[in-house]
Structure 1
Amino acid sequence: MSPAIKYTLGRIGLFVVILAVLWPLDLDIFVKIMIALLASAGLSFVLLRAWRDQMAGQMATAAERRKAEKERLRAALAGDDEASKS
């Protein structure tokens, strides 16, 4: 499974669990949602660090690959002989 999907599902899961814990309390629904959002954001910073780092690494790799492909295409369009041979 993709690190981005794991991290996103982890964030959603934390939110749902915290909201479920807050549900029986006698608070306005918007207050419960805001507390769950803030608490899940803070907890995900600590609990989901490994998945966040994996996702960041995957995104950095994809960005480097796109940058290299962009440079190769620019060189080919400029008529660079070495780029068109690759």
Structure 2
Amino acid sequence: MSPAVKYTLGRIGLFAVVVLALWPIGINIFLKLMIAVIFSAALSFFLMRGWRDEMAQQITEATERRRAEKERLRSALAGDDQPGGTDGKSPEVQ
């Protein structure tokens, strides 16, 4: 499972647990939801550090891949790449 999906589902699950814990308290439902958002965010900061780090690493790697591909395409469009393709071999002379 993707780290982003894991982290998102964990955050939603933590929010649901906090809402259920606040359910018996006799206050306005919107106040319960606001308190649940705040507490679940604070708890996820400490409890889900590993998943958050995995997600950040995945995003960083994807960004680097995109940046490298963008540079490769720019150099190819500018004509800076090796003639004969990307394998680095020169074209056959007939």
TM over 0.5: yes
- Equivalent-residue separation in structure 1 for 2:28 and 2:41 (angstroms): 20
Report which of the two has the higher share of helix. Answer: 1
Of structures 1 and 2, the one with the larger relative CO (CA 8 A, separation 6+) is 1
Corresponding position of 1:21: 21
Corresponding position of 1:76: 76
Cα RMSD after superposing both structures: 1.3
Size of the aligned set, in residue pairs, is 86
1:57-76 superposed matches below 5 A = 57-76=57-76
Structure 1: 5+ residue stretches without partners: none
Q: Which runs of 4+ in 1 moved over 6 A?
A: none
Q: Matched residues, percent identical?
A: 63
Whether the 8 Å CA contact 1:76–1:83 is kept in 2: the answer is no
- Equivalent-residue separation in structure 1 for 2:82 and 2:34 (angstroms): 56
Corresponding position of 1:56: 56
Structure 2: 5+ residue stretches without partners: 87-94
Whether the 8 Å CA contact 1:72–1:83 is kept in 2: the answer is no
**Greater CA radius of gyration, 1 or 2?**
2
